[in-house]
Structure 1
Amino acid sequence: MTEPDPASPDNRHPTRAASPTAPATPGGAPPDGGWRYEPSRALALWDEREVEAAVEVLRSRSLFRYYGPRAPRHVDAFEAAFAERTGCPYAVGVSSGTAALTAALVGLGIPEGAEVVIPAVTFVGSVSAVVAARGVPVFADIDDSLTLDPAALESAVTERTWGVLPVHLNNAAADMDPLLRVAERHGLRVVEDAAQAAGVNYRGRPAGSLGDAGAFSFQQDKNLTAGEGGAVTLRDAAAHQRVVRFQDQGGQFSTSRGPGRGGPEPEGEAEVAPFLGCNLRMTELAGAILTVQLDRLDGMNRRLREVARRVRASVSDLPLEWRQLPDEEGSGGDLTALLGSRLQARRFTAALHAEGVPAHTLYQGRTVTSNPAVRDGRTAWGVRWERPPRMRTSEGIIGRSVTVGLGAAMTEADVEGLTSAVRKAAEESLR
């Protein structure tokens, strides 16, 4: 199938402006005549195909994936297509990215109280998933790629360490080869947090296929979106069956016998003893909507990568240091500068806002350990770990970062306007 052109006017679907003062209109220009562009990704490319897919599910009156009057099995179709896209034998659709991480850890058999190393810069859901899987998070610093530093991972390993959770941050992969070497040396399980990296590659290999399991998010601003949703990718048959059971209350519908329910394990699958699980199932609405978007994923990432590369090249004469990308060719397009200080980052961000450019410091310049609950080790079941040390290296890197939001529906005029705005903002704020 021919991939749609993300920049085509037919694919533009403005939802909100970069500035809160004026709503976006087609072409990226708000009513006040100022220059704006829409910074969203998959949502910006929504069209009648998503509407038709959702309406078809509603008309079938079969919103539950395992049975209904005319169960169309959209989640099954999405799982098969997503597994093929990521190069993994198995994919399981779930309710969110955090659910995907939790299910992946459970699927791989994390023991209670086992330590999992997590980068200090990530969304709190990475930590929540380890807690939900009964593990204990241990935090390690990032490097200038904004992802887990392999040397920091090495230093964090103890006799209690079971696994590591590298995070592919902001549409670019972590430097996985050195991380995998450390994991292999210490016998660690590797769960890739690919929540922000659907369609991203690392040296020719899809994110989510390099470790023991991958976890994806399909929340509102992701590369694929159904508002909420997630997926686990796996290579091992037994781990796959454990994930299937865990997200379906121990296999209530996926492995139970009876009309409208699942049957025996498919031929060649590992037999897994029954156990109690959770309800983390994906709905048919989400499966139908996500299946439509898979055809756009590569074209969208290619366009975002091209825009980022062009902007960086056009301002290469300016004193801007850009984030290290372990694989520029495989990234999904990231435009993150590392300024000389937090003050410079604030000035540059303010100057970009003045030019109508959506920009921010990642996670407001804070590590995940600055979250009060994470800092104090407080879970719903009480305190589970001692206060981690200040992650000063990570704080220093993330605090001076400035990320410019890129839009999947940016036109050539938008790209030119963005380039001019970045140049002007840098010249005014970095003098």
Structure 2
Amino acid sequence: MTGEPGMRYETWRALALWGEEEAAAAMEVIRSRSLFRYYGPDLGHRTDTFEREFSELAGVPHTVAVSSGTAALTAAMVGLGIPAGAEVIVPAVTFVGSVSAVVAARGIPVFAEVDDTLTLDPGQLAGLVTERTWGVMPVHLGNVAADMDPILEVARRHGLRVVEDAAQAAGVGYRGRPVGGLGDAGAFSFQLDKNITAGEGGAVTVTDPDVYDRVARYQDQGGQFTTSKGATRGSGDQPPFIGTNTRMTELTAAVLSAQLPRLAPMCRRLRDVARQVRAETADLSVQWRRLPDEEGSGGDLTLFLESRLAARRFVAGLHEAGIPAHTMYQGQTVTSNRAVREGRTPWGVEWDRPPRFRTSEGLLGRSVTIGLGAAMTDDDVTALVAAFRKNWEGATGQAG
């Protein structure tokens, strides 16, 4: 159980299911004394194994394991050849890491409204394209895929690269296809509250072998160098460049591999819980978040109230009943971040102040997300439904 007073169940996903498998995988690496992915006294190649397994999950030929979701987004854009100063369209509702990655890749973020999916509004995309636009970053937010088909259509029409921010969506699908394999590259996070976790970690998924080569080299110092042990890495087939170090460790990879078999069943269970709650509150006039593909969702329970005040009342009532709930990002778009708003990067001001995103602000501020945990019992679901119905009238003035 969580340490927070009054909580009936944990909202952790992968972490709630941790057990002996993770401990055994970690201890095997520790005992081998080979925590670095390329060499050691008894190297088990756990990172190589994780990359193969994750490629199968994402339905792509290639995965590069890295140190975080932000590192994955950065490496994906570098691998795709983003020019310095190029514009990347990013939804106004996302974690600041999406913007950080664009900056790290020497790009310029351009922000777009979201619609009632809380993901990038495809109808707004074409109007933001200029001669400087290089790509678009749809964000699969809170285990819900962005509406990718119309986004991909606009991208193809304008020759844009598509980098999927799937940090919050491992195991999620869109119309029968896994996210991370729909655009030109995908990026995943394995931070603590994600669907699989090692505390931190990330992965880049790609199809094009040349892009894979650039991503793999970028996250490993450029790939073409000589070590003290006399080994040179990198094929040498492409022009050399200086990279960075965002490599994944063997320990991280081993812990993540232990969780992959649980990912699909966990997403199914949480998807079923969300469906049950919606079905058992179907007589109420609830405006649920629109899901571009409910079958592919990883289990989301987000609704919109009539006002920010009503959303706050509903959250407070649920908390009092012991049900975890919140307004996503505290109702603030990513452009509310001062550095983002003012275009401030480590090397100076790089873009003009963006406009207000009133549609996104309105939807976000009126939203309530009810936390679902991987270890929820049937009794937990029953209590959730009861609390939802009881607090609905107090928040909305409508009988529940």
Give the TM-score of the pair, scaled to structure 1: 0.90
Q: 2:154 is matched with which residue?
A: 182
CA-based RMSD: 1.4
Residue 130 (str. 1) matches residue 102 (str. 2): yes
The match for 2:221 among 249, 258, 263 is 249
Structure 2, unmatched stretches of 5+, are none
Amino acid in the other structure paired with 1:369: T
Residue 390 of structure 1: aligned partner: 356
Of 14, 17, 21, the residue aligned with 1:49 is 21
Identity %: 67
Contact kept, 8 Å, 1:66 with 1:261, in 2: the verdict is no
Tell me the distance in 2 between the aligned counterparts of 1:297 and 1:62: 27
SS at match of 1:170: helix
Q: 1:272 offset after TM fit, Å?
A: 2.1
Runs of 4+ in 1 over 3 A off after TM superposition: 256-265
Alignment partner of 1:425 is 2:391: yes
Matched, 1:348 2:314: yes
For 2:267, the equivalent position in structure 1 comes to 301
Matched, 1:218 2:190: yes
What CA distance in whole angstroms lies between the structure 2 residues aligned with 1:95 and 1:371?
24
What displacement does 1:428 show? 2.4
Residue matched to 1:317 = 283
SS at match of 2:313: helix
Query: Structure 1 residues 428, 260: closer, same or farther in 2, change over 3 A?
Result: farther
The residue number in structure 2 matching 1:328 is 294
**What's the CA shift string for 1:21-41, capped at 9, x where partnerless?**
2xxxxxxxxxxxx66011110
Q: Are the equivalent residues in 1 in contact too, given 2:224–2:234 (CA < 8 A)?
A: no
Mark the runs of 5 or more structure 1 residues left unpaired by the alignment.
1-13, 22-33
Which of 121, 125, 138 lines up with 1:153 in the alignment? 125
Say whether residues 1:191 and 2:163 are aligned partners. Answer: yes
Match of 1:173 among 102, 123, 145: 145
State the partner residue of 1:287.
253
Contact 1:145 1:325 in 2 (8 A): yes
| 1:399 matches 2:371 | no
Equivalences, count: 397
**Shift in Å at residue 271 of structure 1?**
2.8
Q: 1:323, 1:337 within 8 Å by CA — same for their partners in 2? A: yes
Q: Residue deviations 1:225-262, cap 9 Å, x none?
A: 00000000001111100001100001157xx5896856
Contact 1:67 1:261 in 2 (8 A): no
Any conservation in 2 of the 1:322–1:338 contact (CA below 8 Å)? yes
Which residue of structure 1 aligns with residue 56 of structure 2?
A: 84
1:138-190 CA-to-partner distances (Å, cap 9, x unmatched) read 00000000000011111111111000000000001000000000101100000
- Per the alignment, do residues 79 and 365 of structure 1 end up closer, same or farther by CA in structure 2, a change over 3 Å counting? same
| SS of 2:142 mapped into structure 1 | coil
Residue deviations 1:186-233 (CA, integer Å, cap 9, x gap): 000000000000000000000000000000000000001000000000
- d(CA) in 2 for partners of 1:55 and 1:347? 47
- 8 Å CA contact 2:58–2:180 kept in 1: the answer is yes
Deviation at 1:389, TM superposition (A): 0.5
Does 2:119 correspond to 1:119? no
Distance, in Å, in 1 between the alignment partners of 2:363 and 2:394 is: 23
Q: Which region of structure 1 is more displaced relative to structure 2, 130-139 or 342-351? A: 342-351
Deviation of 1:320 after TM superposition, in Å, equals 1.4
> Contact 2:135/2:162 (CA < 8 Å) preserved in 1?
yes
1:74 matched to 2:46? The reply is yes
Looking at structure 2, the residues matched to 281 and 213 of structure 1 have their Cα atoms a distance apart, in angstroms, of 18
In the alignment, the residues of structure 2 paired with residue 182 and residue 396 of structure 1 have an alpha-carbon distance, to the nearest angstrom, of: 26
In structure 1, C-alpha distance between the alignment counterparts of 2:229 and 2:85, rounded to whole Å: 40
Q: Is 1:238 the equivalent of 2:204?
A: no
Change in 2 beyond 3 A, CA 1:328/1:220: same
Letter in 1 for 2:243: G
Q: Given the alignment of the two structures, is residue 144 of structure 1 paired with residue 110 of structure 2, yes or no?
A: no
Local SS of the residue matching 1:162: strand
